[in-house]
Chain A
Amino acid sequence: MIMRLFLIFGLILLGGTGYFIVVQTPPTVQATPMIGEIERIREEGLLPEGIMSENEEIEHEVFGVPPEDEAMIEAAMENMDMGDMDMGGMDMGADGEMDMAADGEMDMGADGEMDMAADGEMDMAADGEMDMAADGEMDMDMDGDGVPDMRASEMDMGADGGMDMAADGEMDMGADDEEEAERLMAGQMAGLIITDDGEFDREIALSMSEWTFSELEIDAKPGERIRFTMRNDGNIVHEFMFMGMAQMQGVNYRARRADWNLLEHEALYEQSLLLPGEEITFVAEVVRPGAWMFMCMLPYHMQLGMMGQLATEGMAMDM
């Protein structure tokens, strides 16, 4: 009898504990020190005050991007139209809808053209070439005031031969600027362009701390330029980045993997380290309606709550 009692008791205990821990997973909690060490280290003169410049020797090749990322991002982009995400009609203006069709082509208008301005067509066809305009210039005049917001003739997209923006020859700006240009391009495609400086319509001051941002939902209007000041008010080192929905979904598959810190991922904007007390400024231009996420993507920081979104009206995603 006693043996059976122990057996039954044991099985209940095992089953219960297993369920309690694995199925009904406990929430992740991580408190932070009352005072981070960085304050003290700075006082001792071991670290300089103010923001430190990034080490140029660390080329981005040190952190590779796994090949699966591309496939995952594409799959995320497909899903975005298909109902996983309710994007609604993306109103690009008078010219129609942006339909991100399942065949991978981005059809920018009902007639297959992205009308960026009155005088040009952007046809982003599947063959990888981006032929910006008949006259060789990509004139991105968003708000129709006649002033080009970004002159593509200054951008040489690189040696792959696919994109030759300027009819007047190549200006090879070097790898970093190539990356910068790629980033701006991605921003253009995603609808949010972020630069270090520039004209702006309004200012928002944000701060990050453990484990949140001072504002998690930011509203914006299409065409608006906002200058953000992001300050690390916490006790731990953070990073700051802006990512498009598809980009974020695309790397989710490896966000908890052991090699997360050893690899890179594309972002619309990234400040890789922000020590407590440090502050950065950047200008974000909302090209068209949409929603974009900003977060700290250090291991588990996001899962603990450091993620917010910047969205135009009606576009905010349920998080």
Chain B
Amino acid sequence: MENALGLAGYQSTMIIIVFVVLGFGIAALFAALFLPARWRLPYSMEFLFVGLLVVMVWYGDKRSTEIYTAYQDRLEEEGVLEVGYDPEEGEFDQVVRVLAFQWGFAFVNEEDEISRNAVVVQPGETVLFSLFANDVIHGFNIPAAGITAEFEPGVERNVWIRAPQEPGKYLIQCLNYCGVGHAQMKAWLVVQGDEGDGDEDHEEGEA
């Protein structure tokens, strides 16, 4: 999600925090098991520990909320979430309607041109995807942009991304089980531009 905002490293930061904490936990377990020295913890240690956990909770909540509200605010600013939203008036560089069906994606661009399993964007532009599901719950995930959404028939789900800077083809995949063709429900996000690395397929990407 944070790739959409052009920030970097949030996921990695959280993973690192988590594995550092894990490291301490495992070290404590192994120390308890294998170190000859014994330690009778006073009860206050646990209160301290809980305090530390509360700090972690607060920090995680804060960071995540910052990021998702920034993302969300963009949608709200544009009035996307209101009824009667007019894509023409918005500030997104491109608006694409996405029809997810069993089993593929149809992309309709602003000129009402339809394409199957591929959507073309310019490097670095902001793209709003209006997601519609035709039949069952589908998912929409662009690894290179770090966004995942799930949407059911009957709703219009709006997600936006900032397209990757480097030209090439990026993977879009359905991320909710939708029937026997789920594994094959993939599409290309084509970022146009001078392809110095013309045929390179970027089939996954993360921050």
User: A contacts B directly in the complex (CB < 8 Å)?
Assistant: yes
Q: Contacts A37-B153, A55-B120, A237-B99 given: A261-B186 contact, CB under 8 Å?
A: yes
On whether the beta carbons of A62 and B99 are closer than 8 Å, the reply is no
Q: Are B116 and A235 in contact (CB under 8 A)?
A: no
Mark interface residues in A242-258 (1 if CB within 8 Å of B CB, else 0). 00000000000000111
Total interface residues in chain A, CB < 8 Å = 38
Other-chain contact of B115, A33, A58, A299 (Cβ < 8 Å): A58
A46 to B157, CA, bound (A): 13
Q: A272-B116, A300-B180 are in contact. Are A46 and B103 (CB under 8 A)?
A: no
For residue B187, which residue of chain A has the nearest CB? A261
Interface size on B, residues (CB 8 A): 39
Q: Which of A52, A62, A237 contacts B101 (CB 8 A)?
A: A237
B144 at interface, CB cutoff 8 A: no
Name the interface residues of A240-299: CB closer than 8 Å to any CB of B: 256-262, 272-273, 275, 298-299
Are B184 and A256 in contact, CB atoms less than 8 angstroms apart?
yes
- Our pick among A38, A275, A299 for the contact of B103 (Cβ within 8 Å) is A299
A63 close to B (CB within 8 Å): yes
Known contacts A62-B169, A273-B106, A300-B180; decide if A259 and B186 are in contact (CB<8 Å).
Answer: yes
Q: Across the interface, name the chain B residue whose C-beta is closest to A44.
A: B156
Q: Please determine whether B184 and A299 come into contact, CB atoms closer than 8 angstroms.
A: yes
Give residues of chain B (182-197) contacting chain A, Cβ–Cβ below 8 Å: 183-188, 190, 192
Interface contact B118-A30, CB-CB below 8 Å: no
Chain B residues within 8 Å of A235, by CB: 134-135
- Whether, in the assembled complex, B46 has its beta carbon less than 8 Å from a beta carbon of chain A, the answer is no
Return A175 CB to nearest CB of chain B, in Å.
16
Decide: A36 and B135 in contact? CB cutoff 8 A.
Answer: yes
Nearest-Cβ distance from residue A262 to partner chain B, whole angstroms: 5
Number of A-B contacts (CB under 8 A): 116
A236 interface contact, C-beta 8 A: yes
Let me know if A56 is at the binding interface, CB within 8 A: yes
List residues of chain B with CB within 8 A of the CB of A236.
Answer: 101-102, 134-135
Instruction: Give chain A interface residues in 10-24, CB to chain B under 8 Å.
Output: none
What is the bound-complex CA distance between A48 and B110, given in angstroms?
11
CA distance A52 to B115 in the complex (A): 9
A37 to B116, CA, bound (A): 18
Q: How far is the CA of A47 from the CA of B107 in the complex (A)?
A: 11
A184 to B99 alpha-carbon distance, docked (Å): 31
Contact A258 B181 (CB under 8 A): no
In whole Å, how far is B204's beta carbon from the nearest beta carbon of chain A?
Answer: 13
Q: Which residues of B contact A63 (CB under 8 A)?
A: 117-118, 188
User: Which of B115, B180, B183, B187 makes the CB contact (< 8 A) with A258?
Assistant: B183
Q: Looking at the assembled complex, report how far the CB atom of B154 sits from the nearest CB atom of chain A, in whole angstroms.
A: 7
Within 8 A of A (CB), among B39-80: none
Instruction: Report the minimal beta-carbon distance from B89 to chain A, rounded to whole angstroms.
Output: 15
Complex CA–CA separation, A261 to B100 (angstroms): 13
Of listed B104, B108, B186, residue having the most chain A CB within 10 A: B104
Whole-angstrom distance from the CB of B173 to the nearest CB of chain A? 9
Q: Are A37 and B169 in contact (CB under 8 A)?
A: no
Binding site for B on A (CB under 8 A): 28, 30, 32-33, 36-38, 40-41, 46-48, 52-58, 62-63, 235-237, 239, 256-262, 272-273, 275, 298-300
Q: Mark B residues whose CB is within 8 Å of A.
A: 97, 99, 101-104, 106-109, 112-118, 120, 130, 132-136, 153-154, 156, 169, 179-181, 183-188, 190, 192
